[in-house]
A and B are shown apart, each in its own frame.
Chain A
Amino acid sequence: MKDEAFYRWITFLKKIRFGWLAPFFLLLKGEDPKTQCKAIFSGVMMPIFSILLFLWIWDLASKEIVTKFGTVPGPRQVWSAWKSLGNETRLERIKALEHQHRAREKRIVSAKKYKEVLNNFPGEMPTGLLSPGTEDALSTSSDAFQQANELLEVYNKISITLSKEEAQSVAALFQYETSRQYAEKVIQQALPLEIRHRERVEALRMAPEWNPSPDDPDKVVESKSALKKSESKKLAREKAILLIERQRYATEATKAAYALITSLPKSVRTLLAQSDKSASKLYPELKAWHENLLAEEAATGVKYAGKVKLKMLVKAFEYKPYPGKDTYFAQIATSLKTVFFGFCIASLIAIPIGIICGLSPNMNNAINPLIQIFKPVSPLAWLPIVMILVGALYVSDDPMFELSFLNSAITVALCSLWPTLVNTSLGVSSTDKDIMNVAKVLKLGWYKKVTKVIIPSAMPLIFTGLRLSLGVGWMVLIAAEMLAQNPGLGKFVWDMFQNGSSETLSMIMVAVFTIGIIGFMLDTIMLSLQELVSFD
């Protein structure tokens, strides 16, 4: 039985395009090594070989083409750009941690400092003077009082747990000290390279060939331009190497800093996270408490002595998220969210309509022209309409979704609707005639016929449609994001194109590979789902 499951798993792998893994499993299982090695050669070695060949040709070709941004990035530059994106993300994480740490410190300090407010509240205020409403409010806020005290305990505990040195070293880390040291090292190491590069540029400028001689200006200009061309190519290559070097050092620096930060004991980290969480929960209650008090003061004219301290305390507990910029990975996440949302909208519309179309030839004939007309429309044409319509219809003070997000999601939905719709209707209408006869003979009712016979038999085609839809959606998304300025991969590409730094091309290449790999993964996931619902 166990073997059967194993071979089912192998067949499944093959179906979802991971068949190249199968020979390894089969080897482990002890099957004929010769056959498996052959399979590994053709399934693993050949693709690797072709990828290497591609990289080699790319590398050679890239060195020869110079654009206004420098040489066309080769695989090495693109890899370095990918690393710099990772590095950027790491830096953002460090900064966010630093931000959290500062907030935490502030809370610990103010909690200690204004402890008496919590302990004595509302001691200084004669109860008789308060209106019944306020007394109620204060009695309910005694919960908050309780919690604030508990929290204070937690913070005290933390400061005890972390001994003075430890706290200091952590603080030092959060101060970004280590990474700064590394950054200095980077500059030191990359400096000679850069200096040499400058010297070369200077030497070239001073070279006699660069200055026209009065005897034969034409000849000199000719040789100059030829020289300039070859020299500029050389310089561009040097610069590319320099950039890669610099990137390597920078990555090393942040990696080390990040490693130090994340080396905090896990118990401490969870404790810190818990306290942060309860502090953020506490904030609205403290705030309400403070506002009540202000209102009471205004109504009764009785001044509360600890007012300022309370205000400071409230302020200390205010939770402000780190206002960092979107990292590359955050943008990928946004893109995925957008495409998934758009895909869900598309499926929710397309599957029911497809089923209706498939069931009734009349409906199919009615809807078919619309499908045929709208199907070939490009996302670029939909987007302005969507933007205007969504802008007009989706007006809310506290919008659940960003406008740009909705725009691109709806554009994705509009473009990825059709494959699902067409395939669903085809799947439903092409239910095997014999099977329909069976349903007739058994006198299945309409509902039973649709749910037990028609939809299950259409399932494989529905999923084929969904897979195509998701593919189309992912393609459309990039264009939509570029135009809608919705944070995401499309916008990333656009921004990179706009800012025109020396890394522009490599960054865009990174985006291209990311888009391709994610598209492949989405397709594989859908393919697996499709395999799960197919019957053979």
Chain B
Amino acid sequence: MNPFCILSQLTKSYPTPKGDAVIVKDFNLKIKKGEFVTLIGHSGCGKSTVLSMLAGLNPITSGGIILAGKELSGPGPDRGVVFQSPSLLPWLSALDNVLLGVNQAFYTASRLERKQIAEYYLAIVGLANAMHKKPAELSQGMCQRVGIARAFALSPRMLLLDEPFGMLDALTRFELQEILLRLWSKNQITALMVTHDVDEALFLSDRIVMMTNGPEAEVGDILPVHFERPRDRAGILAHPDYYDMREYLITYLSDRSHIKGQYKASVENQGFDFAALKDQDEKCNPLVMEGKHIAERRNRPVLEDTTKLN
């Protein structure tokens, strides 16, 4: 099966007087449809740069991104982004903030239907009673719920989460992770999240992509997460592999994240059987199809010129 999203040889550099500062170099990643992938790495390693290139907010220096068979250019509401700060428009109510995006993506729909969409998603994130409040009247956690609702309400092809809970305290984070998971499991939008929280990555994702330290960051290692869905926190904490995986990630972050070019070599040297995990991963995560119509509608002419990207 073709991957839904391909990041190929993705490189980002900024020109400086002392030559180009390469933030990300030759970043390769394939994401399946309906998969939840997490990028994890130290702050400043370029994981947010990868995400913002995928969002189209940061121009790509070289390489390319293919989403649903088309090469990306520029931002668009087909990729819903949840930013680290909620980035709500402070003069609009929660509902109007969501509606701003909905009006844009569903401009052919009737006013009533657009409002229904916005209300539906706000209700699911638990803000049915606070729809008409302004961001200043909401707590930071609630603001981020609006941010999540805004991204989901666009019915995007792909969801991009840029350290969505980074500014929240550890405990509010738990709540929002559960809300995110609940919402995500409703329609399994392909998602890419950036975080530095190991527990968050394990709780939410299907695969965790560890990045090496910048500059010239690349994929350092990939850990498939095979916990069954639907997940609940207690169950995952009690899972026999949980702390092994957690340790694996922590060890990577503290000891190995500065070593480049290790990804291929590392696969064989694990404490537990990664090959088996990978197989299991394939089985556990059958790709969930979106509606047939969505597929039809979105599979506009496939980009033929893939040679260019390789």
Does the CB pair B57–A535 fall under 8 Å? no
Contact partner, B76, options A435, A441, A535, Cβ 8 Å: A441
The answer to whether A438 and B76 touch (CB under 8 A), given A452-B100, A535-B136, is no
Does the CB pair B91–A443 fall under 8 Å? no
Cβ of A521 under 8 Å from chain B: no
Cβ of A183 under 8 Å from chain B: no
Does the CB pair B104–A443 fall under 8 Å? yes
Does the CB pair B87–A457 fall under 8 Å? no
Cβ of A381 under 8 Å from chain B: no
Does the CB pair A457–B91 fall under 8 Å? yes
Give the B interface residue count (CB, 8 A).
24
Report how far A33 CA is from B53 CA in the complex, Å.
Answer: 60
In residues 410-450 of chain A, which contact B (Cβ within 8 Å)?
A: 432, 434-435, 437-438, 440-444
- B81 closest partner in A (C-beta): A441
In residues 360-383 of chain A, which contact B (Cβ within 8 Å)?
A: none
In residues 68-100 of chain A, which contact B (Cβ within 8 Å)?
A: none
Report how far A382 CA is from B293 CA in the complex, Å.
Answer: 69
Report how far A536 CA is from B92 CA in the complex, Å.
Answer: 12
Contact partner, A438, options B83, B90, B105, Cβ 8 Å: B83
Q: Is the interface of B mostly helix, strand, loop or mixed?
A: loop
Give the A interface residue count (CB, 8 A).
18
- B118 CB to closest chain A CB (Å) equals 13
Cβ of A312 under 8 Å from chain B: no
Contact with A along B62-95 (1 / 0, CB 8 A): 0000000000000111011101010101111000
Instruction: Please give, as numbers and ranges, the residues of chain B lying within 8 Å of A456 by CB-CB distance.
Output: 89, 91-92
Cβ of A387 under 8 Å from chain B: no
Instruction: Please give, as numbers and ranges, the residues of chain B lying within 8 Å of A21 by CB-CB distance.
Output: none
Instruction: Please give, as numbers and ranges, the residues of chain A lying within 8 Å of B92 by CB-CB distance.
Output: 456
Cβ of B34 under 8 Å from chain A: no
- B274 CB to closest chain A CB (Å) equals 36
Report how far A123 CA is from B104 CA in the complex, Å.
Answer: 77
Instruction: Please give, as numbers and ranges, the residues of chain A lying within 8 Å of B105 by CB-CB distance.
Output: 442
Does the CB pair B91–A437 fall under 8 Å? no
Instruction: Please give, as numbers and ranges, the residues of chain B lying within 8 Å of A441 by CB-CB distance.
Output: 55-57, 75-77, 79-81
Does the CB pair B87–A438 fall under 8 Å? yes
Cβ of A66 under 8 Å from chain B: no
Contact with B along A503-536 (1 / 0, CB 8 A): 0000000000000000000000000000001011
Cβ of B101 under 8 Å from chain A: yes
Cβ of B134 under 8 Å from chain A: yes
Does the CB pair B136–A536 fall under 8 Å? yes
Cβ of B214 under 8 Å from chain A: no
- A326 CB to closest chain B CB (Å) equals 44
Report how far A354 CA is from B91 CA in the complex, Å.
Answer: 21
- B105 closest partner in A (C-beta): A442
In residues 433-486 of chain A, which contact B (Cβ within 8 Å)?
A: 434-435, 437-438, 440-444, 452-453, 456-457, 459
Does the CB pair B90–A442 fall under 8 Å? no
Instruction: Please give, as numbers and ranges, the residues of chain A lying within 8 Å of B55 by CB-CB distance.
Output: 437, 441
The answer to whether A437 and B135 touch (CB under 8 A), given A442-B100, A443-B77, A459-B91, is no
Instruction: Please give, as numbers and ranges, the residues of chain A lying within 8 Å of B87 by CB-CB distance.
Output: 432, 434-435, 437-438
Report how far A438 CA is from B83 CA in the complex, Å.
Answer: 9
The answer to whether A442 and B136 touch (CB under 8 A), given A432-B87, A437-B81, A459-B91, is no
In residues 122-162 of chain A, which contact B (Cβ within 8 Å)?
A: none
Report how far A442 CA is from B154 CA in the complex, Å.
Answer: 9
Instruction: Please give, as numbers and ranges, the residues of chain B lying within 8 Å of A533 by CB-CB distance.
Output: 91
Instruction: Please give, as numbers and ranges, the residues of chain B lying within 8 Å of A432 by CB-CB distance.
Output: 87
Report how far A453 CA is from B136 CA in the complex, Å.
Answer: 17
In residues 157-188 of chain B, which contact A (Cβ within 8 Å)?
A: none
Report how far A442 CA is from B85 CA in the complex, Å.
Answer: 17
Instruction: Please give, as numbers and ranges, the residues of chain A lying within 8 Å of B90 by CB-CB distance.
Output: 457, 535-536
Report how far A536 CA is from B135 CA in the complex, Å.
Answer: 8
Does the CB pair A453–B77 fall under 8 Å? no
Closest 5 CB pairs of A and B: A535-B90, A434-B87, A536-B136, A440-B75, A442-B104
Give A residues with C-beta under 8 Å from B. Answer: 432, 434-435, 437-438, 440-444, 452-453, 456-457, 459, 533, 535-536
Between-chain CB contacts (< 8 Å), 23 pairs: A434-B85, A437-B57, A438-B81, A438-B87, A440-B57, A441-B55, A441-B56, A441-B77, A441-B80, A442-B100, A442-B104, A443-B76, A443-B77, A452-B89, A456-B89, A456-B91, A457-B89, A459-B91, A533-B91, A535-B90, A535-B91, A535-B134, A535-B136
What 12 additional pairs, Cβ within 8 angstroms, besides A444-B100, A535-B136?
Answer: A434-B83, A435-B89, A438-B81, A441-B77, A441-B79, A443-B77, A443-B104, A444-B104, A453-B89, A457-B89, A457-B90, A536-B90
